[in-house]
Amino acid sequence: MISKRLVEGVDDRLDASSFIARNLKKVFPDHWSFMLGELALYSFILLILTGTFLAMFYVASPDQITYRGPYEPLQGRSVSLAYNSVLHLTFEVRAGLVMRQTHHWSALVFMAAIVAHMLRVFFTGAFRKPREMSWLLGVGLVVSGIGAGFTGYSLPDDLLSGVGLRIAYSIAQSIPFVGNWLASVFFGGEFPGTALLPRLLALHIFIIPLAILGLMSAHLAIVWHQTHTQFKGPDRTNETVTGTPVWPKFALKSVGLGFVTFGVLTLLGGLFQINPVWFYGPYVPYSGPSPSQPDWYAGWLEGLLRLWPNWEFTIFGVTIGELFLPAIVVPGIMFTLLAAWPFLEARFSGDRGWHNFAQKPREAPLRSGLGAAAVALMVVLFLAGSNDVLAKYLQIEVDTFNTVLRWSAFVLPVAAGVATFLVCRDLRDRPRSPIARPEAMTVRRTTAGGFEELHEPRAGAAADDEARAP
């Protein structure tokens, strides 16, 4: 275990004592919202642990056999070895289902934590210099996370995942000049192809996790080096960081949070059914479940496909398929804007300063307004990704609902953006937050029997005012 001798022994060999002492004493600012990134980290750890277990059982083969396992509704059906291996894991391997469902839930929470973390960083301006690299790495993590999710839920070779792959094939086909070629080469021929599953597996359990691990390590190393931004407060400056040392309290709290995260995810995995592939049935090209939705983090992409008008055009004899814009160009632009945001903001605001203070959203009304508009657009697209289910639930025609969504995609972002901008600007320009405590005041009784007020600003008020300055 950890002992004085161990530390000395390490130092004797690695000359690490100054490194150890410096890092264990390093202080990190504390704020509840810093937990979001940690949630993503711990979900990823659980993804690796459960995923390793799943990989021991998965068979990446489309070859067909007759299902003879214990799940009666499918007995006698022709299924792929891949689907069969997932059913085997689910129904016959002890602790198999809890591992599989925990893996799926962890992926959903992983992406949710990343998105929440990204919103926190965006609206507090924590991406500004010197933290642009962390932002870029974070955008890389979002993209890798979506890729990991898509390849992951395509592996079981069930009916729902097959439909997703068919759409992916069509999207690849829509790329001018190389589309057919790319799709055919990657899938191993015309859809459904013969070579896909081993390739998806290589992507899902090796290439993408390695990318995530690399991006995450760099992201964390930079955070460790720079420490977080912090909100303004008494005695805090741009050149210093105020908080608690890593060892032991901060570390213990973080590990505690990790275990609670594991606990909640395993509870979800045990009690809440997710991706019941036995219920969808094996993939056959001529059938598709209705309704069919992707996992939540791909919902906005699905929504784009559903709302986009049926534009197909020909330029110099080259047909641009309908999918090319909503599935490739538009998401490409959106991710590019996301990645470029810190640099765009620096360029347009002219602010190239060095920022270690997190901002309140009101301190940057324009950014907050644009952010709110983007969030509103994503929400509309996300809802559009489930338009059939929602329309059924709301008891209106899908076509009517689509019209509402199409208008919303333009109106709501503008409304949310303008409203957020105005509210933030108003809050910024007030001298004091309307909900702040009243100023401390001493009242003195005069000899004449009256009262007089002695104005003495409460401690720290000056710093608050400074913090509120635009």
Partner 1 sequence: MSRPDRVVAGSFVVAILAAFGLFFVYLRGGQTQLEGALLFLTLGGIGVGLLVWAKRLMPQIVDETQSRHHAPVAEQEQQEAAETVMGGVDELKRRTFLSRLLVGAAGALGLAALFPIRSLGQVPGDTPFFTKWKRGSRLVDVGGNVVTTDTLNVDSFTTVFPEGSVGSADSQAVLIKVEPDLLQLPADRAEGAPEGLVCYSKVCTHAGCPLGLYLAADHELRCPCHQSTFNVLNGAKPVYGPAPRPLPQLLIEVDDDGSLVAKGDFTEPVGPAFWNITDGPP
For residue 219, give the amino acid letter.
Answer: H
410 touches partner 1 (CB under 8 A): no
**Interface region with partner 1, contact rule CB under 8 A, candidates 240-248, 328-336, 344-352, 420-428:** 240-248
Give whichever of 207 and 423 is closer to partner 1, judged by the CB atom.
207
Rule CB under 8 A: choose which of 253, 355, 406, 425 binds partner 1. 253
- Separation CA 65–CA 183 (nearest Å): 26
- Separation CA 25–CA 122 (nearest Å): 29
- Separation CA 26–CA 20 (nearest Å): 10
Q: Return the number of other C-beta atoms located less than 10 Å from residue 269's C-beta.
A: 22
275 touches partner 1 (CB under 8 A): no
**Interface region with partner 1, contact rule CB under 8 A, candidates 117-125, 281-289, 331-339, 404-412:** 281-289
| Interhelix angle 96-123/251-271, nearest 10 degrees | 130
| Interhelix angle 387-394/365-384, nearest 10 degrees | 80
Residue 335: CB minimum distance to partner 1, A: 21
23 touches partner 1 (CB under 8 A): no
Give whichever of 61 and 170 is closer to partner 1, judged by the CB atom.
170
What is the C-alpha end-to-end distance of the chain, expressed in Å? 52
Give whichever of 152 and 179 is closer to partner 1, judged by the CB atom.
179
Rule CB under 8 A: choose which of 48, 133, 220, 257 binds partner 1. 257
125 touches partner 1 (CB under 8 A): no
Q: Is 80 helix (H, G, I), strand (E, B) or coil?
A: strand
Three-class DSSP labels, 409-466: HHHHHHHHHHHHHHHHHHHHHCCCCCCCCCCCEEEEECCCCCEEEEECCCCCHHHHHH
322 touches partner 1 (CB under 8 A): yes
CB 72 within 8 A of CB 244: no
Residue 207: CB minimum distance to partner 1, A: 14
Window 291-320: residues binding partner 1 (CB under 8 A)? 291-292, 305-306, 308-312, 314, 317-320
Binding mask of the shown chain, residues 100 to 119, with x at each position contacting partner 1 by CB under 8 A: -xx-----------------
Rule CB under 8 A: choose which of 7, 10, 20, 26 binds partner 1. 26
- Separation CA 203–CA 151 (nearest Å): 7
Window 337-396: residues binding partner 1 (CB under 8 A)? 354, 356, 387-388
How many positions of this chain bind partner 1 (CB under 8 A)? Answer: 100
CA angle 130, 370, 138 (to 5 degrees): 40
Binding mask of the shown chain, residues 197 to 226, with x at each position contacting partner 1 by CB under 8 A: --x-------------------------xx
Residue 188: CB minimum distance to partner 1, A: 4
Give whichever of 386 and 420 is closer to partner 1, judged by the CB atom.
386
Window 154-183: residues binding partner 1 (CB under 8 A)? 163, 166-167, 169-171, 173-177, 179-181, 183
Give whichever of 14 and 202 is closer to partner 1, judged by the CB atom.
202
- Separation CA 106–CA 311 (nearest Å): 38
Beta-strand pair 64-66/313-315? unpaired
For residue 45, give the amino acid letter.
Answer: I
Rule CB under 8 A: choose which of 260, 396, 422, 441 binds partner 1. 260
- Separation CA 455–CA 98 (nearest Å): 64
70 touches partner 1 (CB under 8 A): no
Rule CB under 8 A: choose which of 112, 389, 398, 461 binds partner 1. 398
